[in-house]
Amino acid sequence: MSIYNEYKTKLTPKIIEDIQDYLKDKKVNDAKLRKILDKVVEEYEQARVHAGESVGVIAAESIGEPGTQMTLNTFHFAGVAEMNVTLGLPRIIEILDGRKKIKTPMMEIYLKKPYSAGKNVKEIALSIKETKLEEISTEFSINLVESAITVALDKIKIKELRITLAQIVTVVSKQLKGFSVKASKDGSSIILKSRSQEESLNEVYKAKEKIKDTHITGVKGISQVLPVKREEEFVIITAGSNLTDILQLAEVDNFRTTTNDIFEIQEILGIEAARQAIVDEVFKVIENQGLNVDVRHIMLVADTMCVSGFTKGITRFGVVSEKASVLARASFETPIKHIISAALIGEVDKLDSVVENVMLNQPVPIGTGLPGLVTKIKKKEEK
């Protein structure tokens, strides 16, 4: 144990852990262990990025170059029928720009043991799907004399969803104030009557339109569900995303369930999860296109997007606005805005990054331009 502690400063905890795991039931004496660890340290130092390596530019080039090929492929959408997923370059742009509202939010819901094998999958999926009043009714009609709305219901659909008439009545009456809600005698429809007799037709019409959107069952925001078998296991894929509500369901395996909405992940699971989500999502798209980019490039991008504790896009409002140098910020979009605001507060540019030094024609502090000469200049002794 003590030997491992000696190496704590030289190796990462993960590597030490791995070595420990590997050597657990092997007989290694102290001298040998020391030798092994020294070798690992050597390898580790070799594998590390050297000082002055321009990792950022290399990451940008490594992602950007395959990106040019992606534009040529117009293969941007995929999926079954109405389940469209943004793929390809538009999706990458969406992630890296840090868009709050993504085009096609999507969830992958994994299930706990008995359900993941296929038990009640269809029912669970259906219960997740958001159902609006409009979908379970066949007709909305207005009775002008009584200023009442009659909603004819689709009995088959109601049966499928396993809801009772009473449930519908309570949900609708909560939504709509000023109306009394009753089920009709034969149970085929619900009748909404205005409490005040003098309701104008316009008001009634507005109410009719409003109740169409009434949320009846399911999870809000999930517009479509699709149970899929994925390697001996059933997974529910949804269009629309609502991580908060889904994770609270008893059947859901909340360790593996994900969404493609990075901001939702950040809000619920934290910034580290969001960083991982960015890496996974970008990598998924690149892999999907049959391209090959090392994850570490994407990890670097995700790191810069998340360092501040919030997800920031690579835009002039996000990551670029954090740059220390005025000139560097000005060289990327809206230069005048940046220069004027810098002038107002008397900003000082230390010229310690790349772009500024290119502008001034000075060596850039990277690679061969990084090391400086440290020496004491001897003053001539007065004789």
Residue with token string 């009995």? 155
To the nearest 5 percent, what fractions of the chain are helix, strand and coil?
45, 15, 40
Query: Is there binding between residue 361 and another protein (CB under 8 A)?
Result: yes
> Of 57, 78, 80, 117, which one interacts with another protein (CB under 8 A)?
57
User: Which residue lies nearer to another protein by CB, 228 or 340?
Assistant: 340
Q: Let me know: does 365 contact 353? Beta carbons within 8 Å.
A: yes
Contacts 24+ apart (CB under 8 A), 195-198: 197/147
Helix (H) or strand (E) holding 245: helix 243-247
Does 340 help bind another protein (rule: CB under 8 A)? yes
Taking the complex as a whole, how short is the minimal distance between the CB of residue 346 and another protein, in angstroms?
9
Residue 320 touching another protein (CB under 8 A):
no
C-beta of 363: minimal distance to another protein in Å?
5
309 binds another protein (CB under 8 A): no
Q: Toward another protein, which CB reaches closer, 61 or 139? A: 61
Residue 61 binds to another protein (criterion: CB under 8 A)? yes
Is 163 or 342 the residue whose CB approaches another protein more closely? 342
Would you count residue 370 as binding another protein (CB under 8 A)? yes
Rounded Cα distance, 88 and 289, in Å: 7
Amino acid at 160: E
Residue corresponding to tokens 């009775």? 143
- Is residue 365 involved in binding another protein (CB under 8 A)? yes
User: Rounded distance, CA 188 to CA 119, Å?
Assistant: 32
Contact region with another protein (CB under 8 A), list: 27-35, 122-130, 294-302, 336-344? 336-344
The mark string for 95-134 relative to another protein (x by CB under 8 A, - otherwise) is ----------------------------------------
Question: Is the separation of the CB atoms in 225 and 126 below 8 Å?
Answer: yes
